[in-house]
């Protein structure tokens, strides 16, 4: 049992506590350095964990030596560790950007940031649904504080809506856990898969109701139609580094959908097999189109980027419904691409808005920018990547998505929606770019410049777009290995519960 599995959870906790100690808390520079160094160490540890998981396969960590299905279980497979690694990459860009001065606009930015990292990493690594709920609450509590960072009427209004919706989702989550635990006698994901396969006919509808309540919860967390209405206002109101980190928050919902409805309600679940696919397929496609319409209708750049996040959510949910190795592989590749590029766009919207004066990031004529070449180059790279045009990572990701459709009917709907939404995104970004960079009032630029830490953060995140193409071979091999490992449910359960675990009494 490797202790490295728990490191991505413990490190942010200890960092947050360290930052709150008086010698560091009262020094802005010390807070920044401790937070940034800790995030770099987190990235190194997660890369080491990913390499270890590739070499050794699925492994688990039992806190307090309470063996599964009892106690708190953390599970490391290629998919979950890849998501933790993605979070560390995104967090490093966000914390560097925040350390350029944004962190001083409110209280306890760095401790809250670290606690949110702890919750996100725990949600990806947990092996049971109750602790998924616990980590959800940890990251949500931290996100409440981060959302109102720097204050303001818009932030407060968005935070109230966000808190009320998530408290409602948490209540539904508890109801669903109560139903499932009362019926199955366990909340360990691997053990639940075994129990569902042996489920007596009289309990099928009860477990199905619990599973569909979970679907509602994860749909709210992921912002799937019709539960997506909170996202544009919330993400556009958040401060730039917080919005960038929030780019991975919706991916937790889609990851939970994939994990639960592949492992627990997967092919081995008898009458409950694929119970979510009939819902996720149309809702995912509709979410894509709604996000694309939102991109065209957006009146400011931040809301445009928030609608790009909705498109990425719809794409991932549609792929989850396909329940295949090719679709799961595309999910991982596209998740990495969309999360990092959207995170960079949230940061880019802030520096563009700062240099345009009173116009900010609104899509109206504004003051001439002081660094149009630098910011314009970054905008073009991000726009090409997020629209799915060659030669950047979005093109590879969307090619994998299109190839994931197996039947002619799937191809007709998926190809039509993906290609049409890409065209709409391209039009929306072209319109935004032409207004932001070409429609200027006056000849004098303001004094604002992009600070070195801000430049590093933007370059760090935007590098993903070309690098994911340069290393597309190894990355796609990694994603297919992650998909095969995730869908090899019998082997994973045997590792976690022991070789005696069976489905329906068959070894």
Inform me whether the pLDDT recorded for 505 exceeds 60. Answer: no
pLDDT of residue 107: 79
Query: What tokens does 123 get?
Result: 């949600």
For residue 229, name the pLDDT band (cuts at 50, 70, 90): confident
Residue in the structure block whose two tokens are 């993605």: 86
pTM of the predicted protein model: 0.94
From the number of C-beta atoms within 10 Å of its C-beta (0-12, 13-18, 19+), residue 448 rates as middle
pLDDT digits (tens, 9 = 90+) for 336-389: 999 999 999 999 999 999 998 888 889 999 888 889 999 999 999 999 999 999
Can you spell out the DSSP letters for 309-340?
Answer: HHHHHHHHHHHHHH-SHHHHHHHHHHHHHHHH
From the number of C-beta atoms within 10 Å of its C-beta (0-12, 13-18, 19+), residue 283 rates as buried
**DSSP secondary structure code for residue 368 in this structure:** P
Number of H helices, E strands in the chain: 22, 4
| Percentage helix, strand, coil for the chain under 3-state DSSP, each rounded to 5 | 75, 5, 20
More confident residue, 274 or 196: 196
pLDDT digits (tens, 9 = 90+) for 301-348: 999 999 999 999 999 999 999 989 999 999 999 999 999 999 999 999
Spatial distance between the Cα atoms of 489 and 57, rounded to a whole number of angstroms: 13
Please answer whether residues 332 and 477 qualify as being in contact, where contact means their C-beta atoms are separated by less than 8 angstroms.
no
- Name the average pLDDT for the chain: 91
Please answer whether residues 147 and 127 qualify as being in contact, where contact means their C-beta atoms are separated by less than 8 angstroms.
no
């Amino acid at each position: 049992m490797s202790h490295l599995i728990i490191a991505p959870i413990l490190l942010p906790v200890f960092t947050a506590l360290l930052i709150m100690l008086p010698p560091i808390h009262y020094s802005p520079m010390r807070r920044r350095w401790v937070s940034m160094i800790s995030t770099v160490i987190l990235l190194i540890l997660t890369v080491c964990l990913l390499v270890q998981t590739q070499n050794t396969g699925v492994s688990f960590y039992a806190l307090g030596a309470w063996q599964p299905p009892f106690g708190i279980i953390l599970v490391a497979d290629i998919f979950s560790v890849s998501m933790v690694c993605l979070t560390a990459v995104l967090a490093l860009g966000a914390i560097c950007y925040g350390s350029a001065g944004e962190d001083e606009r409110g209280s306890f930015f760095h401790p809250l940031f670290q606690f949110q990292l702890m919750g996100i990493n725990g949600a990806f690594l947990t092996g049971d649904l109750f602790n998924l709920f616990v980590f959800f609450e940890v990251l949500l509590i931290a996100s409440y504080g981060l959302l109102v960072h720097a204050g303001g009427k818009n932030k407060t209004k968005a935070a109230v809506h966000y808190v009320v919706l998530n408290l409602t989702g948490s209540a539904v989550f508890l109801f669903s856990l109560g139903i499932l635990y009362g019926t199955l006698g366990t909340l360990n994901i691997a053990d639940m898969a075994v129990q569902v396969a042996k489920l007596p006919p009289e309990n099928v509808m009860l477990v199905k109701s619990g599973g569909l309540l979970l679907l509602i919860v994860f749909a709210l967390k992921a912002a799937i139609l019709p539960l997506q209405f909170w996202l544009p206002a919330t993400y556009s109101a958040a401060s730039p580094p917080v919005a960038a980190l929030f780019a991975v928050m919706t991916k937790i919902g889609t990851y939970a959908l994939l994990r639960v409805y592949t492992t627990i309600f997967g092919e081995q679940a008898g009458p409950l097999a694929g119970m979510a696919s009939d819902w996720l397929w149309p809702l995912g496609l509709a979410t894509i189109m709604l996000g694309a319409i939102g991109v065209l209708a957006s009146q400011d750049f931040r809301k445009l980027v928030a609608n790009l996040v909705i498109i990425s959510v719809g794409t991932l949910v549609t792929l989850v419904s396909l329940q295949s190795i090719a679709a799961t592989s595309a999910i991982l590749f596209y998740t990495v691409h969309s999360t990092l590029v959207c995170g960079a766009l949230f940061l880019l919207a802030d520096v563009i808005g700062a240099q345009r004066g009173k116009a900010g990031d609104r899509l109206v004529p504004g003051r001439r920018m002081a660094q149009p070449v630098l910011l314009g180059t970054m905008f073009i790279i991000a726009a090409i990547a997020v629209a799915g045009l060659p030669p950047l990572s979005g093109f590879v990701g969307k090619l994998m998505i299109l190839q994931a459709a197996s039947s002619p009917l799937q191809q007709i709907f998926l190809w039509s929606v993906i290609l049409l939404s890409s065209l709409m995104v391209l039009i929306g970004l072209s319109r935004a770019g032409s207004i932001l960079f070409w429609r200027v009032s006056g000849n004098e630029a303001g004094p604002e410049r992009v600070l070195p830490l801000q430049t590093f953060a933007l370059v760090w995140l935007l590098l993903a777009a070309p690098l994911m193409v340069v290393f597309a071979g190894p990355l796609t091999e990694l994603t297919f290995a992650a998909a095969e490992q995730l869908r090899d449910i019998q082997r994973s359960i045997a590792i976690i519960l022991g070789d005696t675990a069976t489905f329906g009494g068959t070894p």
